[in-house]
């Protein structure tokens, strides 16, 4: 059985390794979520002139995305520069005017939309990625992993250093 000092040393280094792996895994996954690593803001969507005519011809307006991702608390401001009135879910946007929608719930929406060829617009509202979210992710993955590595390190027999007296052959 290893001494208490060796066991504590193994636990300490195992926890460090687990946290390091947790940091690596989580930071890679957070790279894919960086669009939500910001505070809420006002995001403007402009409906360009000639959009209604493009939709009538079955074309998709090139400057308007078919889906957008937001953070809880964002406000979508839709500015209509077209000559026709448009609709986006609960918003009615008269020609030359604007309307806004505050997104206060993390949810995915598929709104009816008059300025898309497919007549719908996807809004994905996510919780913002904060420093505490990142820390929780690291701790929730790194600590259990560190504990598993520590358990494995404790039950593994330690390598004994070769004693020069033991290798002497008669």
Give the CATH number, domain containing residue 87. 2.60.40.420
170 lies in some domain: no
43 plus 122 within the same structural domain: yes
20 plus 50 within the same structural domain: no
Q: SS3 of 127, please?
A: coil
95 close to 79: Cβ distance less than 8 angstroms: no
17 plus 55 within the same structural domain: no
pLDDT in tens, the chain (170 residues): 567 888 888 889 999 999 999 999 888 888 887 778 888 999 999 999 989 888 888 887 778 888 899 999 999 999 999 999 999 999 999 999 999 999 999 999 899 998 888 888 899 999 988 888 888 888 999 999 999 998 888 887 666 665 555 555 55
Compute the distance between CA of residue 165 and CA of residue 145 in angstroms, rounded to an integer: 40
69 plus 8 within the same structural domain: no
63 plus 114 within the same structural domain: yes
146 plus 98 within the same structural domain: no
Residue 158's pLDDT is 63
> Which structural domain, as residue segments, surrounds residue 23?
4-32+130-155
11 plus 58 within the same structural domain: no
68 lies in some domain: yes
151 lies in some domain: yes
90 plus 106 within the same structural domain: yes
115 plus 149 within the same structural domain: no
Residue 32's pLDDT is 81
CA proximity to 15, closest of 138, 164, 145: 145
43 plus 111 within the same structural domain: yes
56 lies in some domain: yes
Q: How many domains does the chain have?
A: 2
160 lies in some domain: no
167 lies in some domain: no
37 close to 136: Cβ distance less than 8 angstroms: no
For residue 76, how many C-alpha atoms fall within 13 Å in the half-sphere facing its CB?
24
């Amino acid at each position: 059985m290893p001494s208490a000092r060796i066991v504590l040393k193994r636990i300490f280094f195992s926890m460090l390794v687990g946290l390091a792996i947790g940091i690596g895994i989580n930071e890679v996954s957070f790279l894919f979520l960086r669009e939500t690593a910001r505070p809420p803001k006002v995001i403007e969507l402009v409906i360009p002139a000639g959009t209604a005519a493009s939709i009538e011809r079955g074309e998709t307006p090139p400057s308007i995305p078919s889906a957008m991702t937001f953070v809880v608390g964002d406000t979508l401001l839709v500015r209509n520069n077209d000559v026709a009135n448009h609709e986006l879910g609960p918003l009615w946007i008269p020609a030359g005017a604007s309307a806004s929608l505050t997104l206060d719930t993390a949810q995915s929406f598929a709104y009816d939309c008059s300025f898309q060829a497919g007549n719908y617009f996807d809004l994905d509202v996510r919780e913002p990625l904060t420093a505490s979210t990142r820390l929780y992710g690291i701790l929730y993955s790194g600590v259990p992993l560190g504990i598993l590595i520590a358990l494995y390190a404790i039950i593994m027999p330690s390598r004994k250093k070769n004693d020069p007296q033991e290798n002497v052959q008669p």
